[in-house]
A and B are shown apart, each in its own frame.
Chain A
Amino acid sequence: MRFLPFFITLASFAQGLTPAALLKPTPDSWPTFNGDYSGRRFSPLAQINASNVHTLSLAWATRFTAGGAGGRGGLSIKSTPLLVNGILYFTSPNNVWAADARTGRELWHYQYPPNTGSTIGNRGVGMYGNWLYFETPDSNLVSLDASTGKQRWKVSIADPKLDYTSTVAPVVVGNHIIVGIGGDHLDNPGFLQSRDPETGALQWKWWTTPRKGEPNMDTWPDEYSSAHGTGQAWIPGTYDPELNLYIVGTGNPNPVMAEKSRKGDNLYTCSIVAINPDTGKLAWYFQPSPHDVHDWDAVETPILFDGVIDGKPRKLVAQASRNGYFFVLDRVTGKNLVTKPFIETVNWAKGIDAKGQPIADPKKFPTTDGVLVSPSSNGATNWPAPSFDPETGLFYVGTSRSYSMFYLTDTDDHPEGWGGLDSGAGNDGNALLAIDYKTGNTVWRHDWPSGNGVVHNLSTAGKLLFTSNGNNFIAFHAATGKILWHASLMAAPSAGSITYMVDGKQYVLVAASDSLYAFTVNQPAK
């Protein structure tokens, strides 16, 4: 009677997750990609804390099988699981699962049919009521019944013939399902869409680059280059309910490395944009990489928090951007307050302009004989989740002091696609950084002796920061940077870890490759 326990709990969650509940998620849950709309990935749970984390131990581990293409090179769970009413929902490309958060037991597994879309990754599902929303490699939005995993409908959000691919976890705001797309090989237009939660019908579409007659068209040579300027928003954004702004980062302009045909700042690529989720209208923008030529998507989570800068309480948004700079903005206006490099090796900017944006040095644009640039195209950081702890006031981010040679390969007057290649030239080291949002200065750092440094973070009110290095899942003291606990898993953590509480017990959950691992403190402090 495999499903019996599940059906017994049905009554308690038949109502599902209301949009109102997303505004103030209960502390025991993790109902959105980032846990809540702020993007902080900070949990108020403190049963697991700096005093007892040394006793953290495995509650369960479960390996999942896709039975098909679940990701390039085998199944890799790159989604942040949702936890709603004791059930976990998570994904890999073409696959969605539900599992019991108490035991790790699979409840259902949905498989999307084989298709030609890229299976580079999938960031997870969004939830509205008792419905789940999932993007497919061939750019369909699928709605599933959360109780059974049965497909309710699917709608196309982009033409896969243009080499679009979709990896984003849809974001639910009110009665809007906000979706983005990816893919930048064929200079395809970038956009955000809002879809109706009941039918999937299009509510609005916001192009990430201007169209005829719109503001900032003059940051492109012409309409054609803007329309093919790409700027894909491929990571879920954050949301401020008071301002009613959806704040999200956009990706690189196209052609990626050949900039001859797209002189100008190329708005709104490599930008942080604030969109009204009801209308799809742009409220403000800030551009971390004007006229990017290095593939430095500014999609890294723009984290929302309130703080004090220059003696004034402010509503803020902060991003550690792939280009190596840390930015803090006033999220009411988009006005820049802090700009500071967070890796020491950054060498591509001539300075900072009056708006707080780095000024790209044309000497570091790709050439046929190559230019040496830090960071590499993979960036000083990348999509793996940063975290902000309101109790320490620190912004945590995994970083890499990497270098690439950037080569121009397309010297045509109308370059297309990438138009260039880059070649990894080494790495001066990888570090976990804890950054003071008021200054951009690093308060503490941990240099890794080996392994990738661009990894996911989670902070908690237990004064803990969970992150990873190689196969090690690690807890730091969030204020001091001291390592307090670790466990070596069977693979490197592949998605952001979450924490939740069921039946009075707090769990920390992490995905690593094809498995989920849940840890608890088995001897809570008396």
Chain B
Amino acid sequence: MHYWKLLALIFVPCLIAQEPAFTPGGRGGPNQGDKGITAAIAGAKEDPAAFERGAKAYAANCGGCHGATGRGSVGAPDLVRSLLVLDDEKGILIAPVLRNGRPDEGMPKPNLSEEQIADIVAWLHVQTYSAGHRSTYAFMDVLTGDAKKGEAYFNATCKGCHSATGDLKGIGARYDAFALQARWLQPRGGRGGRGGASPSSNKPVTVTVTLSSGEKISGTLDRVDDFSVSLRDSRSDYHSFTRDGATPKVEINDPMKPHTDLLGKYTDPDIHNMTAYLVTLK
């Protein structure tokens, strides 16, 4: 049993990219635990100290041919995509190669202790785990925009609903930059992506149902499809109606709709500038 693969099945919600995973908030997003190499070490179930020692031993003995990140170079194979490495458990396959080299294929016999071999094995397992598991991927640098331009954009576009000294006061302190960018773009949280913002408690969607008698019932939308609509009124009483085409009349008001409407209007610099501005609202 490959424990890291078993773990992958348990902890990684989506192993292959085929299908939408219709989970709010996406995967591997900001503020969801450790990322990068720390997550890969944990995911691969390797000892962090062995990994650290392995990194040094690899760099000193292997990196010259196989590349600093193990991804190969001319004449030396990519170890991260290596079947032997992928098939390995606890060094059973890798260790003989590290002990003896592969003279017939041009790999000299390295001079490594058994401890160093075990450490390099740990380092290699973390590399393959890291490449193959999006849950470990770390965002890099989102603060590339111009805060001044972001402020101007904010004043021109967002001030109808938001205030830097009111509802958004301190927002730059509440989220890291990636979470903030995801959240201001889509406050309800994205769907189906891989790294979206977490769902939030924003203003609810409201609905008004006008019966054929003219009576209007309004409240917080509970559920709507082509065949029924239900809501909770201001006393939290539940109302449910059968829909038949345009009867009864159903009017839905989503206070977050301006965010969705703006998606087709932003340029990418607008987005980066806005994020650069919003992080300054400490």
Tell me, yes or no, whether A binds B. Answer: yes
Known: A377-B193, A421-B134. A372 touches B69 (CB 8 A): no
Q: Are B67 and A414 in contact (CB under 8 A)?
A: yes
Q: A370-B181, A370-B268, A382-B20 are in contact. Are A418 and B134 (CB under 8 A)?
A: yes
Q: Are B223 and A450 in contact (CB under 8 A)?
A: yes
| B1-60 CB contacts (< 8 Å) to partner A | 1-2, 5-6, 9, 13-20, 22, 25-26, 28-29
A407 and B144 alpha carbons, distance in the complex (Å): 13
- Say if the beta carbon of A282 comes within 8 Å of chain B: no
> Are B193 and A234 in contact, CB atoms less than 8 angstroms apart?
no
Smallest beta-carbon distance A443→chain B, Å: 20
Closest Cβ of chain A to B187, distance in Å, is: 9
> B177-192 CB contact bits vs A (8 Å, 1 = yes)?
0000110011011111
B71 CB-CB contact with A under 8 Å: yes
Say yes or no: is A363 at the interface (Cβ < 8 Å to chain B): yes
Q: Which of B132, B223, B245 contacts A186 (CB 8 A)?
A: B132
Q: Is the CB of B83 within 8 A of A159?
A: yes
- Given that A186-B131, A372-B266, A414-B69 are known contacts, is A483 also in contact with B226, CB under 8 Å in the complex? yes
Cβ contacts under 8 Å, A120 to chain B: 14-16, 18-19
- In residues 392-431 of chain A, which contact B (Cβ within 8 Å)? 402-405, 407-412, 414, 416-418, 420-428
Chain B residues within an 8 Å CB radius of A451: 225
Contact B268 A182 (CB under 8 A): no
Chain B residues in 8 Å Cβ range of A376: 190, 192-193
Determine if A163 and B15 form an interchain contact, defined as CB atoms under 8 angstroms apart. Answer: yes
In the bound complex, residues from chain A placing their C-beta under 8 Å from that of B26 are 422-424
The answer to whether residues A118 and B15 also contact, given A369-B272, A426-B188 and a CB cut-off of 8 A, is yes
A residues in contact with B62, CB < 8 Å = none
Given A182-B16, A252-B17, the answer on whether A426 and B186 have CB atoms closer than 8 Å is: yes
Contact A378 B86 (CB under 8 A): no
Closest A residue by C-beta to B5: A116
Residue in contact with B142 in the complex, picked from A161, A185, A369, A428, CB distance below 8 Å:
A369
Report if A472-B18 is in contact (Cβ < 8 Å); known contacts: A116-B6, A426-B188, A428-B264.
no
Tell me the A244-291 residues at the B interface (CB within 8 Å). 251-252, 256
Interface members, chain A 133-166 (any B CB < 8 Å): 159, 161-163, 165
Are A369 and B196 within 8 A (Cβ)? Answer: no
CA distance A184 to B137 in the complex (A): 15
- The answer, yes or no, to whether B104 is at the interface (CB within 8 Å) is no
Q: How far is the CA of A161 from the CA of B89 in the complex (A)?
A: 11
Residue picked from A159, A363, A372, most chain B C-beta under 10 Å: A372
Q: For the complex, what is the distance from the CA of A370 to the CA of B188, rounded to whole Å?
A: 19
Asked if A403 and B139 sit within 8 Å, CB to CB, the answer is no
> Does A374 contact B263, Cβ atoms closer than 8 Å?
yes
8 Å CB contact of A377 from B72, B194, B261? B194
Tell me, yes or no, whether B197 is within 8 Å of chain A by CB: yes
Residues of chain B contacted by A425 (CB below 8 angstroms): 182, 185-186, 190, 193, 196, 263
Interface flag for B114 (CB, 8 Å): no
Closest CB in chain B relative to A191 CB, distance in Å: 16
Q: Is the CB of A469 within 8 A of B83?
A: no
Contact B86 A161 (CB under 8 A): yes
Q: Which residues of B contact A44 (CB under 8 A)?
A: none
- B225 in contact with A472 (CB, 8 Å): yes
Q: Are A423 and B190 in contact (CB under 8 A)?
A: yes
Return 30 A-B CB contacts under 8 Å, by A number. A116-B2, A118-B9, A120-B16, A163-B15, A163-B86, A185-B17, A185-B134, A186-B131, A187-B81, A234-B18, A251-B18, A295-B17, A369-B144, A370-B181, A372-B268, A409-B138, A409-B139, A409-B140, A411-B140, A417-B133, A418-B17, A418-B134, A423-B197, A424-B186, A425-B186, A449-B225, A450-B224, A469-B226, A472-B225, A472-B226
Residues of A whose CB lies within 8 Å of any CB of B are 72, 116, 118-121, 159, 161-163, 165, 167, 182-187, 224, 228, 234, 251-252, 256, 295, 297, 345, 347, 363, 367-372, 374, 376-379, 382-383, 402-405, 407-412, 414, 416-418, 420-428, 448-452, 454, 469-470, 472, 474, 483, 486, 488
Q: Which 6 A-B pairs have the closest CB atoms?
A: A424-B190, A424-B193, A378-B20, A368-B140, A417-B131, A414-B71
* Apart from A161-B83, A472-B227, 17 more pairs, CB < 8 Å: A118-B9, A161-B86, A161-B87, A295-B17, A347-B264, A369-B141, A370-B142, A370-B272, A405-B185, A405-B271, A416-B80, A424-B191, A428-B260, A449-B225, A452-B22, A470-B225, A472-B226
